[in-house]
């Protein structure tokens, strides 16, 4: 494999790394804003305490971030190994 191909693989891995971190930060912000909005509403203490009805948007963003981070680690590792072997 040419070294340019391994750099391309590492570049895409870096892109996934940035994407994963951005998704995790976005998920944390969404979760924080959701719970702060719930805490400001006086009549919805039960929804705040029991987390019912469930809202999965912030959890889905964080899960997508973890998946993108895992893909980036694999791609960066593979690209680094292929670069060292070429």
Task: Select the more confidently predicted residue: 14 or 45.
Answer: 14
**What does the mean pLDDT of the chain come to?**
86
Per-domain residue ranges of the chain: 3-85
Percentage with pLDDT > 70 across the chain: 80
Cα-based distances in Å from 56 to 43, 50, 67: 22, 14, 16
Q: How confident is the model at residue 53 (pLDDT cuts 50, 70, 90)?
A: low
| Whole-angstrom distance, CA of residue 20 vs CA of residue 69 | 5
Residue 36's CB: how many other CB atoms inside 10 A? 9
Spatial neighbors of 15 by CB under 8 A, at least 6 apart, are 72
């Amino acid at each position: 494999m040419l070294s340019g191909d391994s750099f391309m693989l590492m570049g895409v891995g870096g892109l996934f790394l940035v994407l994963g971190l951005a998704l995790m930060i976005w998920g944390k912000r969404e979760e924080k804003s959701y719970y702060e909005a719930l805490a400001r509403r006086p009549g919805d203490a039960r929804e705040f305490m029991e987390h019912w009805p469930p809202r999965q948007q912030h959890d889905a963003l964080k899960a997508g971030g973890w998946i993108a981070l895992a893909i980036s680690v694999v791609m960066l590792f593979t690209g680094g190994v292929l670069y060292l072997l070429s």
